[in-house]
Amino acid sequence: MAKKQQKHFTDSIYYDLEQTARLMKKSANQLFEKIDMGLNFDEYTVLDTISCNAGICQRDLAKLILKDRANTGRILDTLEEIGLITRFIDTKNNRLVKKMGITEKGLKKLKEISDRIESHFTNTTKSFSEEEIDALQLTLRRFKNSIEEFVKMNI
């Protein structure tokens, strides 16, 4: 009976996902430098996340974007300074918390950037059918959810 050969980490799904994520991030950063729309990719991601989650607090936002609260705060400061978001005080579980909303200027900037980058992201997926993309996205979300059960988030 042949002994099963140990699989290397570089042959695992974890490695493939990490490499894909790094390439996607590098590609997005290069794209944002090229189009020079006044925001970097992280700022755009935060703006888009706030637009989908009106009234979100910084802690919940940090969890969604997988960044610590300090880094998230710096991004929020920048977006607020240029008038793309607004912060306001609200209550959550009987405690005062700062929440965020996107401004009209922010919505306009988000649409402007989204329109400019759409073709880039379409080009990266053009060799896949819509069904393949949907199936992959569903699988990735399931995979992410299973990992979240084991990851301690200190945010």
Q: Does pLDDT of 53 surpass 80?
A: yes
For the entire predicted model, the pTM comes to: 0.86
Mean pLDDT in residue range 88-100: 89
31-118 to CATH, choices 3.40.50.1820, 1.10.1740.10, 1.10.3720.10, 1.10.10.10: 1.10.10.10
pLDDT for the residue 70: 92
Q: Measured between alpha carbons, how far is residue 66 from residues 17, 46, 60 in Å?
A: 16, 11, 10
Domain boundaries along the sequence of the chain: 31-118
- Report the C-alpha gap between 60 and 69 in whole angstroms: 9
Average pLDDT over residues 60-75: 94
101 SS3 class = strand
| Residue pair 52/41 in contact by the 8 Å Cβ criterion | no
pLDDT of residue 1: 61
Q: How many CB atoms lie within 10 A of CB 44?
A: 21
pLDDT (average), residues 71-95: 94
pLDDT score of 2: 64
The pLDDT assigned to 111 comes to 97
Tell me what the mean pLDDT of segment 126-136 comes to.
95
pLDDT, position 155: 63
